[in-house]
Structure 1
C-alpha cells in the first residue's frame, strides 16, 4: 500500500514527542496543616473541661450527698421518735420514783406514830394518860401537833386544843376499818397548809380511836420542787379532784389552784385541764400538753395509799436536747463519709481515667506523626477495654513503623535508580536527537495523520463522556419520575379517601334536609291543629255566651248554670290565647325551617360541587399517573438508547484505534528508520522526564518519612 506524507510519524508511542509533559507533584500542605493542629493542646483542653474523673467524682459526690441527706432525715426522724420514747420512759420512771419517795416519806411519818398505838396507856383511851406519852413525841418527831381522835368526833391535841370533827370529814374514815387516813388542809386566811395523818388504835380487835398527827404541808411542795426533769422541769402533786396540793410555786397550793375549774373561764387552761382529767382517769403514764405557750411533757404516777398523783414536768426543748447533739453527730458523720467517699472516688477515678488519658495522649502523638514511644507494658497486659485500646494503639505504632521503614528503603533505592536512569537517558537523548533531525521532514506527514487520528479519538472519548453524563441524567430523571409516581399514588389514595368522605357528607346533608322537610310538614300539621283549636275556642265562646243568656232568662234557677257558662267562656278565651301562641311559635318555626331549607340547599350544592371537584382532581391525578407511567417508559427507552450509544462509542473508539494503528504501520513501512529514531528520541525524553519525576517523588517520600518520629 502506498503511504502519503501525512501518514509518516508515530508508530507505537503516539504521545511521546511531548518531552516537556508536566508530572504531578506530591502535596505536603495538608499534612503540615494537620500536624500543626494536633500539637497535644486540644486533648489537654478537652480533658480539662470534660474529665471523666471530675464527672465521676461529681456524680458520686452528688449521689452520696443525696443519699446521706435522705438517710440523715430518716435517721433524724427515727432518732427523734427514739429520743422522745426514751425521754418519756425516763419521765415516767422519774414520776414513779418521786411518787415512791413521797409515799415513803408519808409512810415514815405514819410509822413513827403507829408504834405508839400499841402502848397500854394509849389503848386505855384515857386522854390524860395519852397526853402524858404523846406530848414529848411532838418535838422529837417534828410534828406540829399530835392528838387522839375519839369515836364521837372529839379530837384532843397535846397543845390543849379540842375540836369537833364532822362525821363526814374524811378523817372519820379511820373508824370504818382503813389502815390509815391522810388529808390535806389549806387555810387561806392564815396562808398555811396542814398535812394530817390518822392511824387507828385497836383494842380487842376494835377501833376505839386514832392517833392524829399534823405536820406542815409544804413538805409536799418541797418534794415536788426537786422532782423536775432537767434545769427547767419541775414537779407538782394533785389530789383526787385535780387541785394542786404541792408545787414549787407555793401560791398555787395556797390558792387551791385547779386547772379543771380554771378551764371553765380560761380557754388557755384547756390543754392542762385535759391533762389533769387524764391523770385522774389513768393514774399513771406520760402525756404532752401546752401551758402558757410552752410545749411540755408530763409523767405522772399515783402515790399509793392516797388519791394523790405525783406529776413530773419536762419542757420539750430539754426533752429533745439530745436530739440536737444527735443531729450534729449525724451531720458530722455524713460529712466525714462524704469526704471519705470523695477521696476514694478521686483515687478510683484517677486509677480508672489515668490509663485512658495516657492512651488518648498516645493516639494524639500518633496523629501528630510521633511514633517514637511505645505504650506502657502494664496497660498492654490489662484484660479490659483499656487493654484493648492500648493494644490497638501499639499495633498502629508497630504497623506505621514497618510501613515507614519500607517506604524509606524504597525511596532510597528509587532515588539511586532514578539518578542512573537520568544519566543514561541523557546520553541516549543526544544520539537520538541527531538521527531525529535528519528524518524529521519525512515523519512530518505521518505525524499529521496520526495527530488527526488522535484528535478523532479525543472527540470520540468526549462523546463517550457526554453519553455517560446523559445516562446519569436519565437515571436522575428516572428516580425523580419514580418519586413523582409515588407522590401521585399517595395523592390518588388521599383523593379516594376525600371522595368517600364527600359522599358520606353528601348523604348526611341529604338526611338532614329530609329531617328538616319532615319537621316542616309536622309544623304545618301543628298549625292546622292550632287552627282547629282556635275554631273550637270560638264556638265554645259562642256557646258560653248563649248559655249565659239562657241562664239570665232562667233567673235565680239558672245562677249556677251562669257560673258554669262564665268558666266555659274563660276556658274558651284561654284556648284562643294558647292557639294564638301556638300559631306564633309554628310561624317562627316554619320561618326557621325555611331558612334551614335554603341553607341546606346551599350546603347540598356546595357538597355536589366539592364532589365534582374531587372527581375532577381524581381524574387529573389519574391523568398525571398515566403521564408519569408514559414518562417512565420513555425514560427507560432513553436509558436503553444510552446503552446502545455507549456501545456504539466503544465500537467507534475501536475503529479509531485501528485506524491509528494502520497509520502507524504505514508510517513504519514507509520510513522504519525515521519512526524508530523518533520513537527512541521520544522514549528517551519520556524516560528522562519520568526519571526526574521519580527523583522528586523519592525526595518527597524521604521528606514525608522524616516527619515521623520513629
Structure 2
C-alpha cells in the first residue's frame, strides 16, 4: 500500500532569511551590465569624436588648399604674363612705338577679368630723352559694380607727371629691387571704389640694366566674392590677409580694407594672432560671441598671404552628440530589458525552488508529498525537481516495506518464542552432549560465510574495474583519433599559411611596381609643366610679332592667343595630375607598409602553428602509451576475477564440510544439554526481537500513510 500524498500542501512554514534569488541576481548582474554598456558608450563616443576630428581636420585643410591654390593660380598667372610683357618691352622699347607696345599690354587687360588696367613706367629720359616721366596707362571702362562693358580701353597719361611721381610708388620701388614680378598688398582705390593690388615686373635691357617697369592692376573683388561665397557646412567661413596681416576679406568686417583692419584687431583670436603670424599653417580654437569655433589657416603658395577658415565646433561634433544620445538611449533600453529578463528568469527559478523546498518541508514532517502542477523544465531546476520526486518515491517505497517487515517480524517473534519454550522443556537431557560440537560448527560456518561475502564484494569491485577499463579504453581510442585529425588539420593550415605568405610577397611587389610607375608619371608631369610654360612664352612672343606685323598678322595673333590659352590649360591640368599622383604615391607607401605588417604577422602565425603541431604529435604518442597501459590493466583485472572464482569454490567446499560436521553432531545426541541452552537463548532472543519490532513500528508511525 502506497502512502504517497497526491495533493500538495503549500503551508510548509518555510521563511526566507535574507535576500531572495531574484534580488541577488538583479543586484549581481544589472550593475555589471550597466557598467559595461556605459563603458561601451563612452569608448564609442571617444573613438567617434577622434574619427570626426581627424576627418574634419582633413576636410578643412583640403578646403583651404583648394582656395589657396585658386588664389595662387590666378595671381601667378598674372605674374607670369607681367614678366613676359616686361621681357618683350625690354627687348623692343628702343625701336617700337607706344602704340606698338600697347598691343601686348591691352591683350593682358582684355583677356583677364581680374585685370583693371596696365601701364608702362620708364626711368627718366630712357624712352624719350626729353621726358623725365613716361608712363602711359590703359584701363577698362567699368560700371559701379566693377563690370567691364567690353568697350575699347582708355589710354591715359594722367599719371606721367611730377605730382604723381610714380618713381616713389610702391609698385615701382618693388620692381626696381626685384628680379621678377611681385604683387603689392591689397589696397582700397577710392576713385574706382574697388579693392586693388598691383603686379609689377622690372623692364631690363639685355645687359640687365633697369629701365622701368610694367604694372598690371588687379581687381580683388572677384577673389573676395569667391571667398565670401564659400560656406563649409552651416557656419564655416573663410578669411584672407595680406603680407602685413591686414584683412583682404573677413565675413565679420565687410569694410576691413577701407577701415584698415588687420588680424591684430580680431580680439576673438587674440591667443592665436602671434601663432598665425609665425606659422604658415596650423589649427586651433577660440570663442566668438559665446560660441566655440575651430580655426585653421594656411599660406598662399608663392606669397605670404594667409587664408583662414573658422567653423562652429558644435556643428563639427553634431553627429558625435547625436551618436552619444542614441547610445545612451540604447544603453537605458538594454539595462531595462536585461532587468526584465533577469526578473523573469529569477521568478521561474524561485518558484521552482520554492516548490522543491515545500516538498522537502513535508518530508521533514514525515509526509510524502510529490511535486505536481509545476511547470516542466528541461534545465538543472527540472533535474532537481525530478530527482526530488524520485527520492520521495524511493523513501515512500522503503518506509512501506519496513513497516510491513516490522509487522511480520513482530508476529514471527511471538511464534518463535512459543516454540522455543516447548523445545526447551524437551531438550534439557541432550543439551549438554551436543553443546560443544554445535558451538564449533556454528563458529566455522559463520567464518566461512563471512569469507564468502568478502570474496563476493571483491568480485563486484573487479567487475567495476573491468567496466571502467573498457570505458577508458574507448575514450582513449577516440582521443587518439581526434588527435590524429587535429594533427592533419594543423599541417594543412600551416601549408595554407605558407601559400598566403607567398601571395603577400606578390602583392607587395605589385604595389612597389605601381609606386615606381607613379614616380615616372610625376616626372612626365614636370615635363608637361615645363612645356606649358615654354608654350605660353612662345604664344606671347607670337602675339608681339603679330602686333608688329600689323594687319597681316591678325590671324596669327588669334592662333597665338589660342595657343596661350591651351598652354594655361595644360599647366593647370599638369598641376592637378601632380596633386593626384602625390596622393596615389602616399597611398602606395601606406599599402607597402600594411602588406609588410601582414607578412610579419603571418610568419608569427606559421611559427605558432608549428609549435602546436609538435605538441599535438607529442600528445598523440602519450595517448598511444595510455592505450597500452589500459590493456595491461584489463588483463590484470581478468586474472583477479579468475582467482576470485577459485576462492569462492573453495569456500563453498568448506561450507559443505561444516554442514556435514553439524549433522554429525546432531546424530551423536550424546548430550542435549547444549541444545537446551541454545533453545533457551533462542527464546530470549525471540523476546528481544519482539521488543525491537514493537520499537520499529513506533518509529515508522512517524510517516503518515
TM range, normalised to the smaller chain?
0.3 to 0.5
The answer to which structure has the higher helix fraction is: 1
Structure with larger Rg: 1
Greater RCO, CA 8 A, separation 6+: 1
**What TM-score do you get using the length of structure 2 for normalisation?**
0.46
